[in-house]
Amino acid sequence: MTKETELEARLEQKERFEPPASFIEQANVSDPDIYEEFEENWPDCWERAAELLEWDETHDDVLVDDDEPFYEWFVGGRLNASYNCLDRHLADRGDELAIQWEGELGETREYTYAELHREVNEFAAALRELGVGEDDVVTMYMPMIPELPIAMLACSRIGAPHSVVFAGFSADALATRMNAAESEYLVTCDGYYRRGDALDHLSKANEGVDGVDHDTTTVVVDRLGDDEPHELDDTQRDYAELVESQSGADIDPVSRDAEDMLFLMYTSGTTGKPKGVKHTTGGYLSYVTWTARAVLDVKPDDTYWCAADIGWITGHSYIVYGPLALGTTSVMYEGTPDYPDKDRLWEIVDRYDVTQLYTAPTAIRAFMKWGSDYPAAHDLSSLRLLGTVGEPINPRAWKWYYKHIGDESCPVVDTWWQTETGGMMITTLPAIGDMKPGSAGPPLPGIDARVVDGAGEEVAPGKAGYVTVNRPWPGMLRTLYRNDERFLSEYWEAYSDPDADEWVYFPEDGAKIDDDGYITILGRVDDVINVSGHRLGTMEIESAIVGVEGVAEAAVVGGDHELKGEAVYAYVILEDGYDDDEAMRERIVAGVEESIGPIARPESVVFTPELPKTRSGKIMRRLLEDIANGEELGNTSTLRNPDVVSDIEAKVRGD
């Protein structure tokens, strides 16, 4: 056995890793007593988070819980998010980089805090000129280009909440979200690049606007230039011309109440109708700033990279608001990690001396598959911390990341949280807790997360149960936009006892806990599929499939996938007279992509004359998951048609 092989074997066997001494010495948070301090001083402990920001008026109360679970944080306080991310850094860091952007074709753009401040002011003035007022929702449908965070900060500057729609979503998804938010303004672009090809995004945006029930005004960023010429109609304005027309504008930041809405983010729900998660200015901004500093160890002189998309909550919290509130340099990359070659990410880390890398297990599994030669060809010694987000990471991928990217000298923070939580909830503090590959870690200081059984009783170590959060936290969603009833039913009814004034948040994730209080997330327990860290509602996908001509019924489940973590598996019943051939499969896949986007593309479409149903008519998706994963089938005694399960299984195995 070679020395290298021997070291690999030891690494594989190791189940616990201590933070490096060199990291502890310089960490933002390194005192283990912080857990006890937060517990003893809760909820006033969250003053620490608020103190990281500058307030126009200080709050009267840290937490007001008169109308649980509609909690209010930092009540009476007033502030502006744009000011906290830009203006307050100008004196000391005006000439330092705020955003380091790289396009897929290799072009770069750099924005110092002064330059970013200037363009945000100019676009804020342009939005006002277009008629955007305080509390008007502005929708953004854009890829990873600098104009997206600029537009977000411009909106927050004038007190207009933003609603970012992931650029990979379909025109229908855009229309649905604009209608739900009653948004009259859209900021989009002509297109972007993927694997070297110019993609037409404006046509999709225009199609989406055609499905909006009210008049809209659209601002279009020219990303592609001559590669994809476009024309604007009477309802559309050119971004560059608008900004130029407001050259030198200086917009006073609108002072917002801590509980005023900062943004909406629509996320998949089990009913098929996306949920508008409402995040507010004071609590959310305080929380993401505190967690970025404590967990990701972000400092002003870092070059920090969260390799996510701003179209998801991770990008909101840890590309834009958290890092910029801390005055650091935030890296943005437009393209895919394997274009033009599979070392693109490592080339970026090397060139910019990136200090932290925060990415998804899906990406790490792809890096593993491509091989360690790609990162080994670059100098990654600037990295100080690694992080994962979006889904659980298995121990083997964790250890590969730790060894081949972090050179066994960077702590790895495996973070569990959701769109609804606003920021991280369960993870190790990198200078304090040992790391256990595969386990996210303990709840953060001040977070009362537990693992309980169906009756709400805490489970014994090693037993599986459900994650609950038994106290509020500043970054939490306040409600679902214009739907308080759904907010209560989706998140609070399962374990709360209103009569006893006990309110428990249920995120619908399964988990187990060990003797040290470390929580391992086991996955979703609701009808949501987590594809590459992106939550997709099964009802939404099933509705898209049933919308295809010839489809009578469909059931969608998540199945294990080597790279994506989970993939979409569709079981479809056709109407009489339609053939279950490849052409029908292609129409179904195209229907899903058109309705939702390529992210929801089914990995497999299985045609069947029946679906396994209980006597009450409920589809037994658990059995379909077992088939998708090649696992032993569970109990079928409650089915009214048990024979269909073996028929479907034989068909899948035969394919």
Contact 175, 181 (CB under 8 A): no
Convert the pLDDT of each residue in 460-486 to its tens digit.
998 888 999 999 999 999 999 999 999
**Is there a single domain that holds both residue 84 and residue 226?**
yes
Structure tokens at 215: 């008049």
Hey, what's the torsion of the CAs at 16, 11, 431, 279, to 10 degrees? -80
CA angle 304, 310, 316 (to 5 degrees): 75
Asked whether 531 and 586 are in contact (CB, 8 A), the reply is: no
Q: Do residues 484 and 402 share a domain?
A: no
pLDDT at 535: 73
Phi and psi of 371, rounded to 5°? 110, 155
Among residues 512, 510, 492, 490, which one has the least CA distance to residue 501? 492
Give the distance, in angstroms, between the CA of residue 383 and the centroid of all CA atoms in the same chain.
23
pLDDT at 13: 72
Rounded to whole angstroms, what are the CA distances from 350 to 90, 112, 401, 404? 28, 21, 16, 14
443 lies in some domain: no
Give the residue-averaged pLDDT of 389-407. Answer: 92
pLDDT of 239 reads 98
Task: Say whether both 113 and 211 belong to one domain.
Answer: yes
Instruction: For residue range 495-531, list pLDDT tens digits in order.
Output: 999 988 899 999 988 888 999 999 998 877 767 788 8
pLDDT band, residue 4 (cuts 50/70/90) = low
Mean pLDDT score, 432-451 = 96
For 475, the token pair is 């970054």
Domain shared by 499 and 545, yes or no: no
Lowest mean pLDDT among 260-264, 283-287, 619-623: 619-623
- Which token pair is 587? 């129409």
* Statement: residue 32 has pLDDT above 60: yes
Domain assignment present for 432: no
293 and 255 in one domain?
A: yes
Question: What does the radius of gyration of the chain's CA atoms come to, in whole angstroms?
Answer: 24
Contacts of 456 (CB under 8 A, 6+ apart): 468, 495, 504
**Quick one: pLDDT band at residue 387, thresholds 50, 70, 90?**
very high
Place of tokens 């100019």: 122
Task: Decide if 370 contacts 342 (C-beta within 8 A).
Answer: yes
Q: What is the mean pLDDT of residues 244-259?
A: 98
The residue out of 414, 441, 461 marking a domain boundary is: 414
Question: In which element (H, E) is residue 593 found?
Answer: helix 582-595
Residues facing residue 358 across a β-bridge: 306, 387
Give CA angle at 181 (62, 194), nearest 5°.
100
Q: What is the pLDDT of residues 35-83, one digit of tens each?
A: 999 999 999 999 999 999 999 999 999 999 999 999 999 999 999 999 9
Cα separation, 551 vs 538, whole angstroms: 16
Q: What is the 3-state secondary structure (H, E, C) of 437-504?
A: CCCCECECCCCCEEEECCCCCECCCCCEEEEEECCCCCCCCCEECCCHHHHHHHHCCCCCEHHHCECC
pLDDT exceeds cutoff 80 at 640: no
In a domain, 601, yes or no: yes
Average pLDDT of the chain is 92
**pLDDT for the residue numbered 134:** 98
Tell me whether residue 427 is in a domain: no
User: Does 313 reside within a domain?
Assistant: yes
Compute the average pLDDT of residues 634-655: 73
Q: In which element (H, E) is residue 531 found?
A: strand 528-531
Task: Read off the tokens for 250.
Answer: 């200086």
Residue (of 47, 51, 40, 52) closest to 73 by Cα position? 47
Question: Which one-letter amino acid corresponds to residue 448?
Answer: D
Structural domain that includes position 486? 449-524
One domain for residues 276 and 291: yes
* Main-chain dihedrals φ then ψ at residue 72, nearest 5 degrees: -125, 135
Residue 445 CB contacts under 8 Å (≥ 6 apart), including other chains: 34, 35, 37, 38, 39, 45, 429
User: How confident is residue 238, by pLDDT bands cut at 50, 70 and 90?
Assistant: very high
pLDDT score at 434 = 97
Same domain? For 386 and 499 the reply is no
Tell me how many domains the chain contains.
Answer: 3
> Closest Cα to residue 493, out of 501, 483, 503, 484?
503
pLDDT for residue 391? 84
Residues 245 and 306 occupy one common structural domain: yes
Task: Name the residue with higher pLDDT: 1 or 55.
Answer: 55
* Residue located via tokens 């050119």: 238
Residue 9 lies in a domain: no
CA 360/CA 124 separation, integer angstroms: 33
Q: Strands 509-513 and 464-469: what pairing?
A: antiparallel
Which CATH number fits the domain that encloses residue 26? 3.40.50.12780
> What pLDDT does residue 534 have?
78
**Using CA atoms, how far apart are residues 358 and 304, in angstroms rounded to an integer?**
9
Quickly state the pLDDT bin for 394 (edges 50, 70, 90). confident
**Residue 316 DSSP label:** I
Q: Where are the alpha helices (DSSP H) in 94-144?
A: 113-130
Q: Are 593 and 570 in contact (CB under 8 A)?
A: no
- 514 and 551 within one domain: no
pLDDT band, very low/low/confident/very high, at 3 (cuts 50, 70, 90): low
pLDDT above 90 covers what percent of the chain? 74
Q: Is there a single domain that holds both residue 212 and residue 288?
A: yes
186: nearest Cα among 138, 152, 232: 138
pLDDT digits (tens, 9 = 90+) for 552-608: 778 899 888 888 888 999 999 888 889 999 999 999 999 999 988 998 999 999 999
Please check whether residue 139 is in contact with residue 178, taking contact to mean a CB–CB distance below 8 angstroms.
yes
Mean pLDDT of 200-228: 95
- In this model, does residue 609 exceed pLDDT 90? no
In the structure, what pLDDT confidence band is assigned to residue 186 with cuts at 50, 70 and 90?
Answer: very high
Does residue 271 carry a pLDDT above 60? Answer: no
pLDDT at 444 over 60: yes
Amino acid, res. 436: K
For residue 424, tell me if it sits in a domain: no
**CATH code assigned at 615:** 3.30.300.30
Tell me, what's the pLDDT at 107?
A: 96
125 and 189: one domain?
A: yes
Indicate whether 510 and 559 sit together in one domain.
Answer: no
Q: Is residue 13 part of a domain?
A: no
Span 525-549, pLDDT tens digits: 767 788 887 778 776 788 788 889 9
Which of 362, 394, 414 lies at the terminal end of a domain, its last residue?
414
Give the pLDDT score at 601.
92
pLDDT over 70 (residue 2): no
Residue type, 602: P
CATH of the domain at 513: 2.30.38.10
pLDDT at position 533: 76
pLDDT tier at 614 (50, 70, 90 boundaries)? low
Q: Per this entry, what is the length of the chain?
A: 655
Last residue of a domain, one of 469, 491, 524: 524
